[in-house]
Amino acid sequence: MNNNNKNNDGKEVAAGVAGAGTAAAIGGAALGASAAEIVSGLATAGSLVGGGMAAGVAVVAAAPIAAAAAVYGIISFFCDD
């Protein structure tokens, strides 16, 4: 393993941790919520993109992916390859 691969592994781990952390935060926010509250939250999130509850599922699912991509990009920017 050369040094270049080691840097890439660190970036991927950081991005994975950021994505998992975001997913855990979203799951924690829903903990203890009733079905009506969850459906209402999904519908509200879906309305941000002009859809309903199904679109809200996509919006909420995209949050951890976006967080992981942002962390990966920031780390890539500051780390020399």
pLDDT digits (tens, 9 = 90+) for 3-58: 555 556 676 777 666 666 666 666 666 667 788 888 888 899 899 999 999 999 89
pLDDT at 1 over 50: no
Phi and psi based region of residue 36 (left: phi greater than 0; alpha: psi -120 to 50; beta: remaining): alpha
| pTM, to two decimals | 0.52
Buried residues in 29-61 as b, exposed as e (16+ CB within 10 A): eeeeeeeeeeeebbeebbeeeebebebbeebbe
